[in-house]
Structure 1
């Protein structure tokens, strides 16, 4: 198991950006697993709040240049990379001028939810998978964090299921209480569609809201984790519903949480 390969996908990571608990979690866990002998890759969006000069981001030309389809449009994918100070970890950043250059994450300065956050999530999830293919690096575990990554388990189980990079990958989906009230447009399903996906596979997403994204991620992941025991009403209801269909775990962020994740990865790869 010492060579287990883990791909971490998240909306943010310290020290580059921290707006929620996701950032610190994704900072601690990959380093701990690397210190236990696992091989790690980390991918996050290059949100405009990330200072490229200060954090020494630079473009990886050999990975950039792909066009990612979102609905009827194709957007160019730019990949950047930076190292985490005082750690032997690199972070790859998914970038695109239209989606990630604004100086905000999911809400603007007036606290309005960006109307195209669905497209940004779709572009990010597809961009992650295509980047890992270009790296030629086959993960054993793909650990997805928060709603923005929730399409990845679906895509790995459908469009990418026979791809040699992903065909043996197991997916983990950690759910956080970062809900939003926005409802996306009726064209969401069409934009999410890819090869080998039937429309009925997206039934959980038809609500076109936070709950829909979380339900879809839970449905297709091999393991579902709640980030903490005490969560809001929406997330508690979702977890109650999903527990009727599949097993999920709560891994408390205590002194034993690193051991708990290490054991989970071992069990999944088995």
Structure 2
């Protein structure tokens, strides 16, 4: 089929962060998909432990300058970019002094999860979508990696349902074993109830916004699901099995995932066309 535009929204990419399952896949996957003839854009958070000088990040002034409101507070959106020369690939970074100028990613130096990881997730996803709109780049499919990207499908299908740039994008969510231990704060659902997001849309996180509940929410608003880790939470695995109408790709080895993901994109793109 014709080349399609694929947007990657991820939590980690090496070499900007240390190697991990997600960071390694999200370094090689966009390049592999680009090599297979598709147009790509890639986003990640600009965590404070990313060395901007060594990695040659610079601010994109024309994309920065917007404020995103979360829980009645304005947060400036700063966009930075860097290039992985060997891959002919740019990476866009979502930055904000309130959320991403810490010395760690999602846990502090003592190993405690940041209390505002819920707000950071909201800001990150909305920041990516607003930046894509500013780029005037219309993705056909959005592939999300890591729980910090879990809200993407909800926003696309509700808050951005009438947006000509984003409304037709298909959502693929990869499930990893990257769980967080402390549920998001009790007012998480209220913060999500912006234009177009109703209380009923948030039923999976009504009781508690745990890692499992957030994954279920992501699955509910996805057009395809991929098992990214060889082992994932068994409750999430059962939930995927119960959603027979959503295309599902089981775990793929490092040797097979590039071609398997590329083919799966076509399955998702062709469904309900």
Report the TM range for the smaller structure's normalisation: over 0.9
TM-score by structure 2 length?
0.94
Q: CA deviation at 1:265?
A: 1.1
Matched, 1:217 2:218: yes
Native 8 Å contact 2:70 2:191 kept in 1: yes
**What do residues 45-89 of structure 1 show as CA deviations (whole Å, max 9, x unaligned)?**
000010000000000001001111111112000000000131110
Matched, 1:238 2:239: no
Native 8 Å contact 2:9 2:145 kept in 1: yes
TM-score by structure 1 length?
0.96
**Aligned pairs for 1:143-158 within 5 A:** 143-158=143-158
5+ residue gaps, structure 2, are none
Counterpart-to-counterpart distance in 2, 1:107 and 1:55: 22
Matched, 1:161 2:157: no
Q: CA deviation at 1:19?
A: 5.5
5+ residue gaps, structure 1, are none
Q: Which residue of 1 aligns with 2:70?
A: 70
Q: CA deviation at 1:2?
A: 4.2
Provide closer, same or farther for how the CA distance between residues 79 and 19 of structure 1 changes in structure 2, counting only shifts above 3 A: same
**Aligned pairs for 1:95-110 within 5 A:** 95-110=95-110
Native 8 Å contact 1:71 1:192 kept in 2: no
Native 8 Å contact 1:227 1:253 kept in 2: no
SS of 1:242's partner is: helix
**What do residues 204-236 of structure 1 show as CA deviations (whole Å, max 9, x unaligned)?**
1221221121111111010011113323xxx12
Q: CA deviation at 1:33?
A: 0.7
Deviates more, 1:176-185 or 1:52-61: 176-185
Q: Which residue of 1 aligns with 2:229?
A: 228
Counterpart-to-counterpart distance in 1, 2:162 and 2:189: 23
Structure 1 runs, 4 residues or longer, greater than 4 Å off: none
Q: Which residue of 1 aligns with 2:199?
A: 199
**Aligned pairs for 1:106-145 within 5 A:** 106-145=106-145
Deviates more, 1:129-138 or 1:15-24: 15-24
SS of 1:82's partner is: strand
How many residues in Structure 1 have an aligned counterpart in Structure 2? 267
Counterpart-to-counterpart distance in 2, 1:110 and 1:66: 33
Matched, 1:40 2:43: no
